[in-house]
Amino acid sequence: MNNILFMINVDSYFTVLFELARKVDKERGMTSVLYFPILYPSALRHIEACKKVNLKYLIGFNTENKNTISKNTIYKLYGIISKNSIYSFVNKFRYIQKEIKNANKILSKEDYKLLVLGGDNIGHNTSIFIKQFHKKKIKSIIVPGWMAGPMEAYQSVRYNHANQVKTNPCNYIFSIFNKKYLYTYGGHTVIRWPCGEILAMKIFNLIPPEPWLLNSGSADLILSESNFMHCYMQSINLKSVLSVVTGSVSHDLLYKISLKKQQLKKKLFKNCNFDYNKKLVLIAMPPNMLYGKGRLECEFRDYSSLVEYFIDTVASVNKFNIIISLHPSTQSTEFENIKCSNAFISTESVIELIPLCDLYIASVSATIQWAISCSKPVINYDVYKYKYTDYLNTKGVVNIYTKVGFKTSIKKFTSDKYFLKKYQEQKSESKFYGVLDGYSFERIKSIFKSFIGE
């Protein structure tokens, strides 16, 4: 039996890998095993999903001792404590040692033939597992739902005390001789990781070739979801890992739903008691990034006011039916006070709703690629003002950064002429952003088999 280990480090990795693991598990001679190394917000719910479909899984955390410390507290403690370079070195060194033991323990219990990851991020244990699996001559494949350039990495550490250069003497001195770990934007410079962590990673040879790029490392192959993703990796000079375009199981699902979208849309409208003469707007709510110090550039100081503005602005336009899709990391309780007659909070996965909508609203989400591949006009409301450039040159995507801009763009889409224009522009881009032919899994399966020697 060819056992394949799927690593699930965060909510979004589960979204990408769960359906792929299910399909692989149904193939003759293949068994999928999902590994949950940490207790991320939806981990327990995802483990229950594995149980329901009889997927094997492993847990790398103690379910009896749940971490109840808030994100705010973790953020503050990490910033304060890791300013101490000796502490950050020792802490990272011990963490790497622990994860090496975990990887070896997993390898000793089963004969694995392949390691599959949703991404290779040095903040997780993925690079450690890739290295330990390689020692057993087991290859690794990354199946990403998105890519990220240096700006994304910069934004993720911009306000972390531990990553500052000017206010941290150890980071400052270290950076004088190690410029490749620095990134400057708007006159503000940060270091990729605290210098103590870098030294610990160097000892174990875990520093990725391109420190500021997601998925840079020693994985054997990246399966790109689209030509857009493949070209994006080339544009940011990700050279350490080979990439091929296969499409994804998500694309296969989009294709399948698109074939019967009229039937499914009619059913959806009936269940939600929607007006059949109105367009359907799908809002993919962004995650809550306003914990800790939040985002100083953001016009909202708390998540509840952000949610309220998002929904009220769209709901104020009487021409739309509205479906609200919650981010996997958020709780439905945060939306209990939403009361709009033309809005409905859906428990369906956003990918099952995208082919049915007329307009897609999201905030710098990787799911925007799915909407483009389905020729859906998009409002990309960069509410946290990350200023990512992914969709700036995509004509069917309206990029917005302010509350006023969001309200204006919503009103523009009430015009049938403007709507049609954006639809046609998006349709011309769709094939670049997706491979909707229904055969993506077959291509992925073929590569998996070649990697495990079948």
Task: With a cut of 60, say whether residue 81 has pLDDT above it.
Answer: no
pTM of the model: 0.89
What's the CA gap between 35 and 42, in Å, rounded?
A: 14
Verify that 445 and 407 share a domain, yes or no.
Answer: no
pLDDT (mean) for 153-164: 92
pLDDT (mean) for 259-278: 94
Question: Is residue 269 a part of any domain in this protein?
Answer: yes
Residue 68: the pLDDT is 45
Residue ranges making up the domain that contains 297: 260-433
Residue 304: the pLDDT is 87
Percent of the chain's residues with pLDDT above 70? 92
Residue 336: the pLDDT is 67
pLDDT (mean) for 408-422: 93
Residue 345: the pLDDT is 87
Question: Is residue 426 a part of any domain in this protein?
Answer: yes
Question: Is residue 285 a part of any domain in this protein?
Answer: yes
Q: Is the pLDDT higher at 420 or at 85? A: 420
Verify that 326 and 384 share a domain, yes or no.
Answer: yes
Question: Is residue 255 a part of any domain in this protein?
Answer: no
Mean pLDDT, the chain, as a whole number? 91
Question: Is residue 253 a part of any domain in this protein?
Answer: no
Among 65-79, 319-333, 432-446, name the one with the lowest average pLDDT.
65-79
Per the DSSP assignment, residues forming a β-bridge with 320 are 279
Verify that 123 and 210 share a domain, yes or no.
Answer: yes
Domains contained in the chain, number: 2
Verify that 321 and 174 share a domain, yes or no.
Answer: no
Verify that 179 and 287 share a domain, yes or no.
Answer: no
Burial 75-93 (b: 16+ CB within 10 A, else e): beebbeebbbbeebbebbb
Verify that 117 and 48 share a domain, yes or no.
Answer: yes
Verify that 290 and 186 share a domain, yes or no.
Answer: no
Q: Exposed, middle or buried, 420 (CB in 10 Å: 0-12/13-18/19+)? A: exposed
Going by C-beta distance under 8 Å and a sequence separation of 6 or more, which residues neighbour residue 240?
A: 208, 209, 210, 216, 217, 218
Tell me the per-residue pLDDT of 183-224, one tens digit each, with 9 for 90 and over: 999 999 999 999 999 999 999 999 999 999 999 999 999 999
Q: For residue 343, what pLDDT band results from cuts at 50, 70 and 90? A: confident
Angle made by CA atoms 171, 176, 181, in degrees to the nearest 5 = 65
Verify that 276 and 202 share a domain, yes or no.
Answer: no
Question: Is residue 344 a part of any domain in this protein?
Answer: yes
CATH number of the domain within which 447 lies: 3.40.50.2000
Question: Is residue 254 a part of any domain in this protein?
Answer: no
| C-beta separation of 301 from 289 below 8 A | no
Q: For residue 136, what pLDDT band results from cuts at 50, 70 and 90? A: very high
| C-beta separation of 422 from 377 below 8 A | yes
Verify that 121 and 198 share a domain, yes or no.
Answer: yes
Closest CA to 328 of 6, 32, 44, 120: 44
Among 144-158, 317-331, 425-439, name the one with the lowest average pLDDT.
317-331
What is the Cα Rg of the chain in Å?
Answer: 22
| C-beta separation of 218 from 138 below 8 A | no
What's the CA gap between 319 and 262, in Å, rounded?
A: 19
Verify that 238 and 265 share a domain, yes or no.
Answer: no
Q: For residue 341, what pLDDT band results from cuts at 50, 70 and 90? A: low
Tell me the per-residue pLDDT of 373-400, one tens digit each, with 9 for 90 and over: 999 999 999 999 999 988 998 999 999 9
Verify that 336 and 235 share a domain, yes or no.
Answer: no
Question: Is residue 187 a part of any domain in this protein?
Answer: yes
| C-beta separation of 341 from 399 below 8 A | no
Verify that 412 and 268 share a domain, yes or no.
Answer: yes
The residue type found at 85 is S
Going by C-beta distance under 8 Å and a sequence separation of 6 or more, which residues neighbour residue 250?
A: 16, 19, 145, 225, 351, 370
- 3-state SS class at 338: coil
Q: For residue 413, what pLDDT band results from cuts at 50, 70 and 90? A: very high
